[in-house]
């Protein structure tokens, strides 16, 4: 079980791991050993997440989400399978924790009279500067 919060756990059956070769420098180790982890998580098939949290997770996942609703995380930061595996799982848990936080609703406000006046004064000052620049030079 992957622990997300004190209340939420994700079953291991929903996670699929595949070990692949990592890219980048690393000498013979990178060419011979499959240390990178590709973690797949079925977002739409997970019953633990609510509808809104699932939608936020899909939005947060971005291009890492397939058309079928599977989130694919690739971890290749470390040289060992185990560290990459725990890195991928921790990144998945962080992503789900972010999706669980419901954003605050914006309260519509109106600008104050003083702020409107300040804005208009700055616009007038700026237009005066531009108008002074437009004067033609006196050639006589």
In terms of C-beta density within 10 A (0-12 exposed, 13-18 middle, 19 or more buried), how is residue 95 classed? buried
pLDDT, position 13: 66
Instruction: Check if the beta carbon of residue 38 is closer than 8 Å to that of residue 20.
Output: yes
From first to last of its 140 residues, the chain has per-residue pLDDT tens of: 666 666 776 766 677 677 777 666 666 666 666 777 888 887 777 777 777 877 887 788 777 777 777 788 888 777 777 888 888 888 888 888 888 888 889 899 999 999 999 999 999 999 999 988 887 777 76
Residue 2 parent element (H or E): strand 2-3
- The hierarchical CATH code for the domain 2-100 is 3.30.160.20
CA torsion, ordered 68, 10, 84, 98, to nearest 10 deg: 80
pLDDT, position 79: 72
- Domain boundaries along the sequence of the chain: 2-100
CA 108/CA 120 separation, integer angstroms: 22
pLDDT, position 26: 62
């Amino acid at each position: 079980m992957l622990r997300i919060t004190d209340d939420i756990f994700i079953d291991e059956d929903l996670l699929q791991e595949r070990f692949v070769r990592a890219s980048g420098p690393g000498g013979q180790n990178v060419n011979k050993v499959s240390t990178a982890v590709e973690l797949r998580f079925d977002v739409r098939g997970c019953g633990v997440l609510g509808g809104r949290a699932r939608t936020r997770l899909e939005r947060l996942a971005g291009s890492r989400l397939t058309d079928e609703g599977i989130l694919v995380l690739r971890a290749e930061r470390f040289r060992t399978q185990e560290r990459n595996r725990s890195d991928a799982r921790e990144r998945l848990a962080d992503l789900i924790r972010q999706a669980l936080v419901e954003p605050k609703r914006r309260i519509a406000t109106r600008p104050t009279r003083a702020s409107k006046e300040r804005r208009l004064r700055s616009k007038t000052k700026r237009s005066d500067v531009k108008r002074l620049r437009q004067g033609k030079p006196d050639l006589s």
